[in-house]
Amino acid sequence: MITKRNSIIAIIFLLLVSVFTVKAQKIDTIYHINGNVLTGDFKKLNYGVVKWEMSGMGTISLETPKINNIKSNKQFEVKLKNGMLYFGSFDTTHVERKVKIMTAGGAELVTIDDIVEVYPIKKSFWLRTTGNISLGFNFSKGSDVASLAFSGNLTYRKRKSSLQLSWNNDNTFQADTLSSTNINATMGVQRTLKNYWSLGAFVGGSQNSQLGYKLRLDFTALGIRDIVYNWWNRYSIAGGLSVQRETPFEGEDETTDLAGIVTTIWKVYKYTEPKVWVDADLSFIPYITGEWRYRIDFNLNPKVGLYSNNLQIGFQLYYSFDSRPPENATSTSDWGINLTLSYSLH
């Protein structure tokens, strides 16, 4: 006869079995090319580096050329360098450096070097957010001029789409006076399509005292084409239309114009020591309405890793040109450079 006490013990036993079973299902396995087997938690793969969490060792980085195979029952978003996008888990094969992506439609056999991005599905908001924060400072005693910059970008990934936020605040001080400002912030969404294409919609705001505008608001719609997309190098071009509303500091009325925009973006990462990151973008913005006018914006941000992948030192360079700035502008161009210390999230 089953007693009440025995029933309670049986229930506790089943609960413990259930807990350990769930825990076991969360263990991922990486098979190293040297024969070692690593168990832990697969966080993500990006730019040829896997973020991997192991008990007692914390989060480590592992380059993809050192991986022979992967096993995980969790669901991932997997992007290949040919532009194909899969949603599924990983299973091992008997072929060196080839892995199966287990999807709802079956198994896809792929070479590990062809995988350029892996992000987990159904993770917390924080774990699906990546980006970096940078602080820059320069000072010249002879001219008594100092510059302070604070910039960053955050990306939250969803299935086939991402939400993006970026900002830059660059201020120049002479003695105790703020002599110039260059501030901009952009927020938007990007949706991945097929065959290397994606669509983006962005809202931005900026101010530049050197170029004479107090506030410029813009809404931009872009078609984006990946030209090169592999585990260390990303190069893409984008084109579209942008509505620009500009408020000068003084002396002129607000204007609203329609402009075209052509942008090229280059990102590169070298995982061998010393680790190097380079982000660059160049935009050409011709105005369609109003008087003939065009603008050019260029940004360059190379960084070198310090101690780990998360902490980097480098510099940030920007250049802006406006063929027809507001009347109170002191110049048709503005540029700046700052030494930066950056911290990357995840």
Q: What is the pLDDT of residues 268-281, one digit of tens each?
A: 988 777 788 899 99
Domain-embedded: residue 10: no
pTM beyond 0.85: the answer is no
Q: Are residues 277 and 189 in the same domain?
A: yes
Q: Structural domain tally of the chain?
A: 2
For residue 185, the enclosing domain spans: 129-345
300 CB-near residues (< 8 Å, 6+ apart): 278, 279, 280, 316, 317, 318
Instruction: Decide if 264 is inside a domain.
Output: yes
pLDDT at position 141 over 60: no
Measured CA to CA, the distance from residue 86 to residue 72 in angstroms comes to 15
Could you tell me if 167 and 280 lie in one domain? yes
pLDDT at residue 25 in the model: 45
The residue to which tokens 């263990």 are assigned = 27
pLDDT of residue 22: 41
Domain C-terminal end among 57, 92, 120: 120
200 and 244: one domain? yes
**Using CA atoms, how far apart are residues 83 and 226, in angstroms rounded to an integer?**
8
Taking only the tens place, the pLDDT of each residue in 68-99 is 999 998 888 898 888 888 889 999 988 889 99
Query: Domain containing 99 — which CATH number?
Result: 2.30.30
Per-residue pLDDT, 26: 53
